Amino acid sequence: MEAEYWHQKWAARDIGFHEGVVNSSLANHIDQLGVPAAARIFVPLCGKTRDIAWLLSRGYRVVGVELSPVAVSELFTELFTEIGLAHTVESVGDLRSYSAHNLVVWQGDFFALTNALLGDVDAVYDRAALVALAPPLRDQYTAHLKTLAESAPQLLVTYEYDQSAFAGPPFSISEAEVNRHYACDYQVKLMARETIDGGFRGRVAADIATWLLEPRVQ
């Protein structure tokens, strides 16, 4: 989707994609990543997800990237209110870095983020990035993500439903598409598939799938 689309969503408070609780796929499958508690987890297109506070509470270090300055500002306001997490802000080229104890969030265009800025990551958690992107951007996103994360394993959450019945985002991502993006570089394992009670937003029958991507040995 175009950047302006997401800026308008946040400005209008049209953020039904924001989950107010910890994502169950993360809570149920984080251990499958096989990384230690102090690992550095990359959360692309993170919004102001509650998952960040949960990861921090478990002892993980977190680095995110998010387009919307509104989302990032609200994230850090909530973290300060809830756990007293203070932060600093620094402009770095076209991005802004929000830094706190065990947490860095880059505000700006995902594609402007470089390896040098991101630093090393031990794992990737993608609940809201791939599914947020229209088809033309998904190839670019997955290619850049693999460049940034290098050999890090990934926990990926997708939806699958009749795309003709709901325009998205979030978009429907089939198993075939997950494999098309990742199977050459990762062993792709389906960890869970659940039918969403009442359908997707009450409009269309849908499943939610949780994937573990483990880098192939070169």
Which of helix, strand or coil describes residue 35?
coil
Residues ≥6 apart with Cβ < 8 Å to 185: 146, 215, 216
| 211 appears as a binding residue in the annotation | no
Query: Do residues 140 and 111 touch, judged by C-beta distance below 8 A?
Result: yes
| 10 appears as a binding residue in the annotation | yes
Structure-block tokens of residue 190:
């389906």
- Burial of 16 (C-beta count, 10 Å sphere; 0-12/13-18/19+): exposed
| 66 appears as a binding residue in the annotation | yes
| 45 appears as a binding residue in the annotation | yes
Binding-site positions for S-adenosyl-L-methionine: 10, 45, 66, 127
Binding-site positions: 10, 45, 66, 127
